[in-house]
Every structure is written in C-alpha cells, then in structure tokens.
Chain A
Amino acid sequence: MTVLSVPMADTGTASVTRRTRILRRLRRNPLAVVSFVVLALAALVAVLSPWLAPYAVEQTDFAHTFAPPGTPGHVLGTDDLGRDVLSRIMLGARASLEVAILAVATSLVVGVPLGLAAGYFRAWDAVISRFTDLLLAFPFLIMAVGLAAIRGASLTNAAVAVGIAQIPGVIRVVRSDTLRLKSLDFVAAAVVDGASDLWVLARHILPNATSVILVQATVAIPTAILGEAVLSFLGLGIQPPAPSLGTMLATAQQFAARAPWAAVLPGVVIMGLALAFNVFGDALRDALDPKGDRR
C-alpha cells in the first residue's frame, strides 16, 4: 500500500503542536486543574481503598450503631448495623467508578464503530439511524428494568443498561465528526490514492476523531455514575451487602431521621465525583474548541 507519507507526516506534526496547545490551555484553566486533581485523588483512593479503608466494609458492630460523625474510630460515623461509613464510602466510590468505566467502555466499543460506519458509508447511515432511534425509545431506567426482569439485578446488568443508554450519544458524536473529516482534503487524497475504506477509517479518521470521543467519554462518566447510583438505590444494581453509594442511600433512607449523615455523605460523594468529571469535561471541550474563546 503506497500511502501518503507526506499528508500523514503533516497531520502528525500538527497534532503534536495541537496537543501541547491543548495541554497549555488546560493548565491555564484553574477549574480544569482543580477538577483534575480531585479526579486523580478519587482514582487513587478507589484503587487503594481495600488497603486504605479503616474497617472491613461488611464488618458489623451492633454495640455502635448510628454513631455520629466524629466518633473516635469512626470519622464519618456508622450506619444502622454499626458499619463504618467512611470505609463503605471508599469502597462504594470504587464500585461506582468501576460501573461507570465499564458502562462507558461498553458504549464506546459498540458506538464508535457504528458511528464511523454511519458517517463513512452512506448506505449504513439509515440503518444505524433507525437503530439509534430504537435505543433512544427505551429510556435507560426502563431498559434496566427490562434487563433486571429478564436476567436479574446485578452490577454487570446495571453497567450494561447504563452503557446501552449511552450508545446513541457516542454514535451521534462520532458520526458527525466522521462526516466532517471525510470531507477534508487529506482524507480525499488518501481515497484518491486507492487506500481501502478500512485503512482510511483506521489511519485517518479514527485518530482525528479521538478528541471528540474523549470529550464524549468524559461527559458520559458522570451520567453513568448517577445512573449506577439510581439503579443501586432502587435495588436494580449492586446488591447489598456489597457497598455502593446508591445502596447506602437506599438503606440510609429508612433511618434518615435518626442518622442523617448516612443519607447525606454518600450523596455528597456522588455529586462531587460527577461534578469533577463534568467540570473537567467542560474544560476539555473548551480547550479543544478551535475558536477557543468560549468559556
């Protein structure tokens, strides 16, 4: 295959300078820096939580139920069974992130190829559009309800339901970027040179669409975190006694008047995680925007 050393080299160097410019823009944006630090810390805690957590998550202590935050030995208090809230939040956050990443990965694995195909091959566009319409017609909770009814409630099914719900968004974004890239000269040049469709998609379009995919993934994660929390809260996701921020809230709801901290804290963590991802996603989008002046 005689392909285009020159245009490839061009896009290569262009993307390097572009990357440094984007990183510089991100570093200059205090919100981006703060949200990135928060996310990095959260990831660290999530990964290390089995070692960091002061108690085993399922360890009950009926002598110390409903201990308020600040109790010696239980910084964030205990719940109805005397389990340590801090330990459960750490592992719950880990579970939330796991589900979110699994869900977004699922949506990318299915959505990116379909988006590329829809944007690149005219004949596929209509078929894939109907598929997208079909997915959209089943709201994620209804999809999760259906899945739970058929396959039972579990972490995997929660992740699959959340992931499927995000496929249409991925397809739409990748499709429109593929359409844009397809019309650019270097792609046309590759086509004229006789490069195969798969080659053009893999070497020219996909690498250039990564930034768009990255932004989409960043904003999909907080949605997935919230989705997991909702499903676990309703009992359709992670099953107790395994810790999850959603299940913690479901239990805490029953004792909210007696132990409000158990109902407040997991929610704060969910919101904090989602907020950090959303803020970082916004900053990333701004940094990638060629117009650059939109804050």
Chain B
Amino acid sequence: MARYLITRAWQSALTLVLSTIVVFLGVRALPGDPALALAGEDRSPEALEAIRRHYGLDQPLPVQFAQYVERVVQGDFGESIRTGIPVSSMLSTALPVTAELAVLAILLATALGVGAGVLAAVRRGHPAEWLANGLALVGLSVPHFWLGLLAILYLSVATGLFPASGFVPLLEDPVDNLHHVVLPAVILGTGLAAIIMRQTRSAMLDSLSSDYVRTAKAKGLRPRAVITRHALRNSLIVVVTIVGLQLGGLISGAVVTEQIFGLPGFGKMTIDAVFQRDYPVIQAVVLLTATAYIVINFLVDLLYSVIDPRIRVTGDQS
C-alpha cells in the first residue's frame, strides 16, 4: 500500500511538472513577441523593456522557467494586462464561487447518480430501470448550457422562483447564496449524474452476479444488507474513481454554467480573459486547473486505497 501511494505521488508530481512546462511554453508559443502580448495597451519601447525585465524574457528559456516557477510558488501570477489587478487577488474572489458550485454539483450528482444506478441494477426489467436508463441517456446527451438557458427562460424569468443571474457570497447571506447557486449546480450536475448512474449500474450488475453476493444470499441476509453492505460497497470503488476522472468535464461545465448564470467565478474570468487576450490570467487559469485536477486525482487515489483494502502495487485501474 505504501509503495502504491509512493508510486502515485511520484507520477502525480511528474505530471504536475510537465503541465507547468506546457503552460510556460504555451505563452512563449504565442505568435510574435511575448512582451507585446503581455504589454496590453502601453506598447512604448520603455514599457516593453520593463516587461522583458520583469518577466525575464531576455534570459535563456531554462532560467525564465525557473523564475516563472519561483514566482508561481509564491502565488505571484502577474497582473491582468487589462485592469492591472494582481491575478492572485482576482482568483481569490473567483475561486470560492466555482468551488461552491462544483462541490454542490458533485454532491447532487453523486446522490442522484448512485441512487438511480442502484435502483436500475436491482430492479432489472422493472419500469424503474427503463426510466432510470432513459433519463441517464438524456442526461448524457443534453447540452447542459442549453438546459441552463431553458431553466432561466422557463423557471427564473417566467416564474421568478430562482434568480436568473447574479451571486451573493456564502458568508454574507447563506440562504440567498444557495438560492443563487442551486439551479446552476443542478444544471452542472446533470451530465455527471448521468455518468455516475451508468457506471454505478454497471458496477452493481457485476457485483450482484458475483460469488460473494451469492455467499451473502446463502447466509440468509436481507436483500437490503446484500445490496448495501456487499454489492454497493464494492461498486463504490468504481464510482469514486469516476468522480475523480470526471473532474475535468466538471471544470469545463462550470465555465459554461457560470457564463450563462452570470456567476462571478473562475469560468467567467477565463472567458473574459480569452476575449480580452489577457494572457497572464489565462496562463494562471490553465495552470491552476491542471494542478487542481492532478492534486484531486491523487487524493482520490488515497481515498481509493482506504475503501479498497486490496490496493494493487501496479496501480493499474483500467
């Protein structure tokens, strides 16, 4: 188990380093002079010279990279070339919004997905199975930004049940905050719920036909105990892995959802930055996303080894 975790830690660290290099080189791959790209409005020779010195653009690449890593580790992502605000302070207001949205979406999706998946596996041939399967297929196929549009059109605007856009910080007014975030979270969670449902169902079908479930039945356990204690517990290993792997999709989804509901999160900041060619912001966003993905998947591996006592040294999960 220790060896497995060390292997995973090492692999994660390697991926992290590689993605930092990719992000670093990405800005260098911009057509033309990176100093021009970073300069924004003020393109006087003096300003460009100052930028070159500040970002070390006159140094050889490895030195530049070292300086870049040093700054990033200290939380210095540069300043927005549009507003001059430090990227780190932009992030500190945007990230909590996205984190709340994502956590809420994951919770909703897991509850719904696992519940429906178990139901569909246990009630085979029952109308409930058809309904759950059908809903999952629709959830997988529906463009959720469109679902968001419809929700705003027919739920928020028409009935006024939910605010169509805007955000209230959690600490300021928790109830109002939830009121603003619930609908986007439901919309964001639909795709994930569908994926979790399908994986849960398939894992449950495997577990339910396994030898140890036969043993559990032969012991005279109640169906509920057979399903939860024996079949579901084994299926959850799969579900946990899926949630980790779907994190990328969730981040992508959060960007769009925030855009539609006008939530002042990380996603909105990203899209705005793309259209304003605000490279320091884009660079920070890309790097942070990659880091978050890698770190969270490492944590999932830790969790995985807690749930599954048989952790294999090879770490092969395919």
Tell me the A residues contacting B by CB distance below 8 Å: 129-130, 133-134, 136-142, 145-146, 148-150, 165, 172, 175-176, 222, 226, 229-230, 233-236, 249, 252-253, 256-257, 260, 263-264, 266-267, 270-271, 274-275, 277-279, 282, 294
Q: Give the interface segment out of B69-77, B211-219, B283-291.
A: B283-291
With an 8 A cutoff between CB atoms, is B62 at the interface? Answer: no
With an 8 A cutoff between CB atoms, is B118 at the interface? Answer: no
B7-45 CB contacts (< 8 Å) to partner A = 11, 14-15, 18-19, 22, 26, 29-31
Chain A residues within an 8 Å CB radius of B282: 145-146, 149
The reply to whether B293 and A136 contact each other, CB–CB distance below 8 Å, is yes
Chain A residues within an 8 Å CB radius of B170: none
Question: Chain B interface secondary structure, helix, strand, loop or mixed?
Answer: helix
Tell me the B residues contacting A by CB distance below 8 Å: 11, 14-15, 18-19, 22, 26, 29-31, 137-138, 140-143, 145-147, 149-150, 152-153, 157, 205, 245, 247-249, 251-252, 255-256, 259-260, 270-271, 274-275, 277, 279, 282, 285-286, 289-290, 293-294, 318
The reply to whether A263 and B251 contact each other, CB–CB distance below 8 Å, is no
Chain A residues within an 8 Å CB radius of B152: 256
Instruction: Name the distance in Å between B21's Cβ and chain A's nearest Cβ.
Output: 10
12 contacts between A and B (CB under 8 A): A130-B11, A134-B15, A137-B248, A137-B290, A138-B293, A139-B247, A140-B249, A140-B252, A148-B274, A234-B259, A249-B143, A253-B149
Instruction: Name the distance in Å between B97's Cβ and chain A's nearest Cβ.
Output: 17
For the complex, what is the distance from the CA of A294 to the CA of B201, rounded to whole Å?
Answer: 11
A270 with B252, Cβ < 8 A, contacts A134-B15, A264-B150 known: no
The reply to whether A176 and B143 contact each other, CB–CB distance below 8 Å, is no
The reply to whether B274 and A271 contact each other, CB–CB distance below 8 Å, is no
The reply to whether A141 and B255 contact each other, CB–CB distance below 8 Å, is yes
The reply to whether B149 and A267 contact each other, CB–CB distance below 8 Å, is yes
Give which listed residue, A142, A146, A175, contacts B251 with CB less than 8 A. Answer: A142
Instruction: Name the distance in Å between B261's Cβ and chain A's nearest Cβ.
Output: 12
The reply to whether A136 and B274 contact each other, CB–CB distance below 8 Å, is no
Give B137's nearest chain A residue, CB to CB.
A278
Chain B residues within an 8 Å CB radius of A226: 141, 143
Chain A residues within an 8 Å CB radius of B140: 222, 274, 278
The reply to whether A282 and B143 contact each other, CB–CB distance below 8 Å, is no
Chain B residues within an 8 Å CB radius of A279: 137
Give which listed residue, A139, A222, A256, contacts B153 with CB less than 8 A. Answer: A256
Instruction: Name the distance in Å between A215's Cβ and chain B's nearest Cβ.
Output: 14
The reply to whether B293 and A278 contact each other, CB–CB distance below 8 Å, is no
A139 with B251, Cβ < 8 A, contacts A150-B26, A256-B149 known: yes
Instruction: Name the distance in Å between B289's Cβ and chain A's nearest Cβ.
Output: 5
Give which listed residue, A137, A266, A275, A294, contacts B138 with CB less than 8 A. Answer: A275
For the complex, what is the distance from the CA of A277 to the CA of B138, rounded to whole Å?
Answer: 11
Give A279's nearest chain B residue, CB to CB.
B137
> Most chain-A CB neighbours within 10 Å: which of B145, B249, B270?
B145
A230 with B145, Cβ < 8 A, contacts A130-B14, A139-B289 known: yes
The reply to whether B252 and A141 contact each other, CB–CB distance below 8 Å, is yes
For the complex, what is the distance from the CA of A257 to the CA of B157, rounded to whole Å?
Answer: 8
Q: Given A137-B293, A145-B286, A226-B141, 10 other A-B contacts at CB below 8 A?
A: A130-B11, A136-B293, A139-B249, A146-B26, A146-B286, A176-B318, A226-B143, A229-B143, A249-B146, A275-B138
Chain B residues within an 8 Å CB radius of A275: 137-138, 141
Chain A residues within an 8 Å CB radius of B318: 172, 175-176
Give A256's nearest chain B residue, CB to CB.
B153
Chain A residues within an 8 Å CB radius of B255: 141-142, 145, 234
A270 with B285, Cβ < 8 A, contacts A133-B11, A222-B140, A235-B275 known: no
Instruction: Name the distance in Å between A294's Cβ and chain B's nearest Cβ.
Output: 7
The reply to whether A133 and B252 contact each other, CB–CB distance below 8 Å, is no
Instruction: Name the distance in Å between B274's Cβ and chain A's nearest Cβ.
Output: 5
The reply to whether A149 and B251 contact each other, CB–CB distance below 8 Å, is no
Instruction: Name the distance in Å between B198's Cβ and chain A's nearest Cβ.
Output: 9
The reply to whether A233 and B256 contact each other, CB–CB distance below 8 Å, is yes
Chain A residues within an 8 Å CB radius of B251: 139, 141-142
For the complex, what is the distance from the CA of A175 to the CA of B22, rounded to whole Å?
Answer: 25
Chain A residues within an 8 Å CB radius of B256: 141, 230, 233-234
Instruction: Name the distance in Å between B151's Cβ and chain A's nearest Cβ.
Output: 11
The reply to whether A282 and B137 contact each other, CB–CB distance below 8 Å, is yes
Instruction: Name the distance in Å between A93's Cβ and chain B's nearest Cβ.
Output: 13
For the complex, what is the distance from the CA of A149 to the CA of B29, rounded to whole Å?
Answer: 10
Chain B residues within an 8 Å CB radius of A133: 11, 15, 294
The reply to whether A222 and B141 contact each other, CB–CB distance below 8 Å, is yes
The reply to whether B146 and A270 contact each other, CB–CB distance below 8 Å, is yes
Give A169's nearest chain B residue, CB to CB.
B245
For the complex, what is the distance from the CA of A275 to the CA of B135, rounded to whole Å?
Answer: 11
Chain A residues within an 8 Å CB radius of B245: 136
For the complex, what is the distance from the CA of A292 to the CA of B224, rounded to whole Å?
Answer: 28
Instruction: Name the distance in Å between B47's Cβ and chain A's nearest Cβ.
Output: 21
Give B291's nearest chain A residue, CB to CB.
A137
Chain B residues within an 8 Å CB radius of A278: 137, 140-141
Chain B residues within an 8 Å CB radius of A263: 146, 149-150, 153
A138 with B153, Cβ < 8 A, contacts A133-B15, A267-B146, A271-B143 known: no
